[in-house]
């Protein structure tokens, strides 16, 4: 079965550079979530989209932005990278949580971003 | 506010021992979901179980079992006859149902080390 695809799997950037992470949800999933997991930390919710509109926002820095496109894939753009942005970034997808009784979010394998 | 507490930061057991991972949650919602995820050293988040707040039946899946008790707001996870391959970080998580999104609130995780 198709899963959530994230690219790239690994990314190394220098401080002050920009990075773009991509997420391709499971077919027919219209909701995408982004999480950030720092070293030794639990995943923290950043932002989510439903039908190309932002549906919820967590602790996402102003230097980060994200969007969902017409094909439902999503991109997380990170500018002015800092050492503290080094983390594992997960994307998850689901069907509309307001419609399905048993909506479950499926996680991608993550993108490991290292800022040097 | 929603909160998940995993008081055990690290547990070390010897192979074939049983081990229980504790999870206590806080929420004002009457309808919610509880999850357990496994994160092996490779980093991906592996879904183990989802339980909704209306279903307090305990569940057993092979060597895994879960004890959900609403009265104590706990959702504990037991591995029977542990194996070295069970070594990982285990996260308990909570999400509300029917809200704008099904974002997950994670606990801080329990690192399980199973020694041969």
Bond from prior residue into A8 cis (ω within 30 degrees of 0): yes
Q: B44 to chain A: which residues are within 8 Å by CB?
A: 107, 109-110
**What tokens were used for B10?**
């690290």
> What's residue A105's pLDDT?
80
Please give the residue of chain A at the shortest CA–CA distance from B6: A42
Q: Does B13 touch chain A (CB under 8 A)?
A: no
Q: For residue B76, name the pLDDT band (cuts at 50, 70, 90).
A: very high
Identify which has the larger pLDDT, A100 or B12. B12
Contact A88 B105 (CB under 8 A): no
Asked if A11 and A63 count as a contact pair (C-beta separation under 8 A), the reply is no
pLDDT in tens, B95-111: 876 566 778 999 999 99
Q: Could you tell me whether strands B3-5 and B24-26 are parallel, antiparallel, or unpaired per DSSP bridges?
A: antiparallel
Give the residue from B82, B91, B104 showing the smallest Cα distance to B48: B91
pLDDT for res A94: 87
Segment B23-66, tens digit of pLDDT: 999 998 888 889 999 999 999 999 998 888 888 888 888 999 99
Tell me the residues of chain B between 59 and 98 that have a Cβ less than 8 Å away from chain A. 91, 95, 97-98
Quote helix, strand, coil % in chain B, to nearest 5: 5, 55, 40
**From first to last of its 116 residues, what are the pLDDT tens digits of chain A?**
679 999 999 999 999 999 999 999 999 898 999 999 999 999 999 999 988 999 889 989 999 999 999 999 999 999 999 999 999 999 999 887 666 555 678 899 999 999 99
pLDDT computed for residue A100 by the predictor: 55
Q: CB burial class (10 A; 0-12, 13-18, 19+) of residue A60?
A: middle
Number of H helices, E strands in chain A: 0, 11
- Residue pair A94/A76 in contact (Cβ under 8 Å)? The answer is no
Residues B106, A43 contacting (CB under 8 angstroms): yes
pLDDT attached to residue A10: 97
For A58, which residue in chain B has the nearest alpha carbon? B103
Q: Give the start-end residues of each E strand in chain A.
A: 5-7, 10-13, 19-24, 31-37, 44-50, 53-57, 64-68, 74-78, 87-94, 106-107, 111-115
pLDDT at residue B116, as a whole number: 95
Classify B86 as helix, strand or coil.
Answer: helix
Which residues does chain B have within 8 Å of residue A102's beta carbon, measured at their own beta carbons?
50, 52
pLDDT in tens, A94-108: 887 666 555 678 899
Residue A101: the pLDDT is: 54
The pLDDT value recorded for residue B99 is 61
């Amino acid at each position: 079965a198709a899963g959530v695809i994230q690219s790239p799997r690994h990314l190394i950037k220098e401080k002050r550079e920009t990075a773009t992470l991509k997420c391709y949800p499971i077919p027919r999933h219209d909701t995408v979530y982004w999480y950030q997991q720092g070293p030794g930390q639990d995943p923290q919710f950043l932002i989510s989209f439903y039908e190309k509109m932002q549906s919820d926002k967590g602790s996402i820095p102003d230097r980060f932005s994200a969007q969902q496109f017409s094909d439902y894939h999503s991109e997380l753009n990170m500018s002015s990278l800092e050492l503290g942005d080094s983390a594992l970034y997960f994307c998850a997808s689901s069907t509309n949580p307001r419609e399905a009784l048993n909506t479950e979010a499926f996680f991608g394998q993550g993108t490991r971003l290292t800022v040097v | 506010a929603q909160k998940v507490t995993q008081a055990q930061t690290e547990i070390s057991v010897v192979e074939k021992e049983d081990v229980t991972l504790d999870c206590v949650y806080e929420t004002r919602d009457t309808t919610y979901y509880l999850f357990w995820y496994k994160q092996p050293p490779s980093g991906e988040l592996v879904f183990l179980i989802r339980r909704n707040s209306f279903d307090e039946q305990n569940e057993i899946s092979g060597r895994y079992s879960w004890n959900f008790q609403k009265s104590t707001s706990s959702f504990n996870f037991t591995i029977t006859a542990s194996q070295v391959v069970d070594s990982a970080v285990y996260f308990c998580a909570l999400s509300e149902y029917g809200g704008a999104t099904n974002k997950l609130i994670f606990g801080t995780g329990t690192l399980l080390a199973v020694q041969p």
